[in-house]
């Protein structure tokens, strides 16, 4: 018998409990496990302007060079992770294609593209109460004046290191390391009760 | 305590890891340094009461190293 390799989201066991709680809040808060995504770690020198230009052309939007901001167009986005580090995110299945396109855009310049799709798993937290829920475990100020749409931050949610991205006024996406998913899920369910 | 990361701005201290005092000079001629001067370089620190230049890394954030000057009495931080 040949065992079939099945990909399973680290949040898979919690999807139903999230759905039930979302219903119980009457739409004020929905937590949704997002499908697998292409995630590539990109490292390069942002001072090389022609390289930034070439990478931006591959992505389809300008690479965000301001700390803790997100560039996005359509279903593709790039999150600033460090002064020479980004996370490119896209729909699942584009790993090889996007890696190849970005690598060839280097055109000899120093840098790296690494597939980290299995590193983090995505969770969407949306609704009028989303900010209040996250504020239970995030030390950063989520006020839209400081952390509005198009902003992201790497910080601690409770005790787990996460990337928080604000998609719009009431929607956040958190990128959680796979091994911390169970901890974050149970923490969120516990914080929901408060 | 809030620590100003030069990239991410002020964040809580639990996002950071301490890297010890900054500006500790590496022996200028390491080949010639004897055990006593190596010990002094590796283990001996000023431990002042007052302003101290320190290394910190924003380990839960952008993972970049930087220097700050922290007052060991008041914890008041000024960028290095």
The upper half-sphere exposure of residue A111, i.e. CA atoms within 13 Å in the direction of its Cβ, equals 26
Q: How many CA atoms lie within 13 A of A92 on its CB side?
A: 10
Structural domain containing residue A176: 12-35+119-192
Q: Give a yes or no: residue A185 inside a domain.
A: yes
**Binary contact (B63, A83; C-beta < 8 A):** no
Chain A residues lying within 8 Å of B61, measured CB to CB: 153-155
Q: Whole domain around residue B9: which residue ranges? A: 2-27+34-79
| A4 domain residue, yes or no | no
Residues of A in contact with B60 (CB under 8 A): 154-156, 161
pLDDT exceeds 90 at position A71: yes
For chain B, residues with pLDDT lower than 70 are: none
Q: How many CB atoms lie within 10 A of CB A194?
A: 7
- Amino acid B56: pLDDT: 96
**Interface contact flag, A82 B63, Cβ < 8 Å:** yes
Domain assignment present for residue A29? The answer is: yes
| pLDDT score at A52 | 95
Does A44 fall in a domain?
Answer: yes
Q: Does A156 touch chain B (CB under 8 A)?
A: yes
Establish if A7 belongs to a structural domain.
Answer: no
Written as one string, the DSSP assignment of A95-112 is HHHHHHHHHHHHTT-SEE
Look at residues A60, A94, A115 and tell me which one is the last residue of a structural domain.
A115
User: Is residue A25 over pLDDT 90?
Assistant: no
Pair A28, A42 in one domain: no
**Nearest-CB residue to A156 (from B7, B14, B64):** B14
pLDDT(A6) > 90 = no
Number of domains comprising chain A: 2
CATH for B64: 3.30.2270.10
Domain total for chain B?
A: 1
What pLDDT score was predicted for residue A192?
A: 85
Instruction: Identify the pLDDT of residue B15.
Output: 95
The residue from A115, A141, A173 where one domain ends is A115
CB A98 within 8 A of CB A142: no
- Cβ of A67 within 8 Å of Cβ of B7? The answer is yes
Q: Using one digit for the tens of pLDDT, what is the confidence trace for A138-153?
A: 999 999 999 999 999 9
**Bridge partners for A111 per DSSP:** A44
Residue A1 is predicted with a pLDDT of 62
Contacts of A169 (CB under 8 A, 6+ apart): A144, A149
> What is the chain A residue with the closest CA to B2?
A139
* Residue at which a domain ends, from A115, A132, A159: A115
Which residue of B13, B16, B62 to mutate against A (max A Cβ within 10 Å)?
A: B62
For this complex, say whether ipTM is above 0.90.
no
CB contact under 8 A, A139 and B11: yes
Residue identified by tokens 């829920």 is A133
In percent, how much of chain A has pLDDT > 70? Answer: 99
Nearest Cα neighbor of A31 from A194, A142, A186 is A186
- Token representation of residue A25: 């809040």
- Return the residue matching tokens 């475990």: A137
On whether the CB atoms of residues A62 and A16 are closer than 8 A, the answer is no
State how far the Cα of B8 lies from the Cα of B15, in Å rounded to an integer: 11
> What's A28's domain CATH number?
3.30.1360.120
How many angstroms separate the CA of residue B80 from the nearest CA in chain A? 19
Please report where in the chains the tokens 């080949």 appear, as a residue: B31
Same-domain pairing of A31 and A41: no
Could you give the CA distance from residue A192 to residue B16 in angstroms, rounded to a whole number? 28
Regarding whether A58 and A44 lie in a shared domain, the answer is: yes
CA distance B58 to chain A (A): 9
CB contact under 8 A, A155 and B7: no
Residues of A in contact with B7 (CB under 8 A): 67-68, 82-83
A41 in B contact zone (CB under 8 Å): no
Q: pLDDT tens-digit profile of A103-136? A: 999 988 999 999 999 999 999 999 999 999 999 9
CB-CB: which of A68, A81, A156 is closest to B15?
A156
Q: Is residue A180 part of a domain?
A: yes
pLDDT at A7 over 90: no
Nearest to A73 by CA among A49, A90, A50, A54: A90
């Amino acid at each position: 018998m040949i065992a079939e390799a099945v990909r399973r989201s680290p949040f898979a066991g919690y999807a139903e409990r999230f759905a039930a709680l979302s219903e119980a809040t009457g739409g004020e808060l929905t937590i949704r496990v997002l499908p697998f995504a292409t995630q590539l770690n990109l490292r390069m020198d942002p001072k090389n302007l022609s390289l930034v230009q070439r990478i931006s052309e591959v992505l389809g939007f300008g690479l965000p060079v301001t700390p803790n901001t997100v560039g996005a167009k359509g279903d593709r986005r790039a999150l600033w992770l460090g002064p020479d580090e980004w996370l490119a995110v896209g729909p699942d299945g584009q790993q090889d294609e996007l890696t190849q396109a970005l690598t060839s855009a280097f055109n000899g310049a120093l840098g790296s593209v690494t597939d980290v799709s299995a590193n983090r798993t995505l969770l969407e937290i949306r609704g009028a109460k989303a900010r209040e829920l996250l504020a239970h475990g995030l030390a950063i100020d989520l006020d839209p004046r400081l952390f509005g749409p198009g902003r992201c931050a790497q910080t601690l949610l409770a005790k787990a290191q996460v990337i928080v991205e604000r998609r719009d006024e009431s929607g956040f996406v958190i990128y959680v390391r796979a091994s911390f998913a169970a901890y974050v899920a149970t923490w969120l369910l516990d914080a929901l009760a408060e | 305590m809030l620590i100003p990361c030069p990239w991410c701005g002020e964040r809580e201290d639990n996002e950071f890891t301490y890297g010890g005092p900054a500006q500790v000079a590496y022996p200028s001629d390491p080949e010639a340094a004897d055990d006593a001067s190596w010990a002094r370089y590796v283990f001996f620190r000023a431990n002042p009461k007052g302003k101290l230049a320190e290394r910190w890394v924003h380990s839960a954030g952008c993972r970049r190293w930087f220097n700050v000057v922290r007052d060991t009495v008041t914890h008041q931080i000024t960028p290095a």
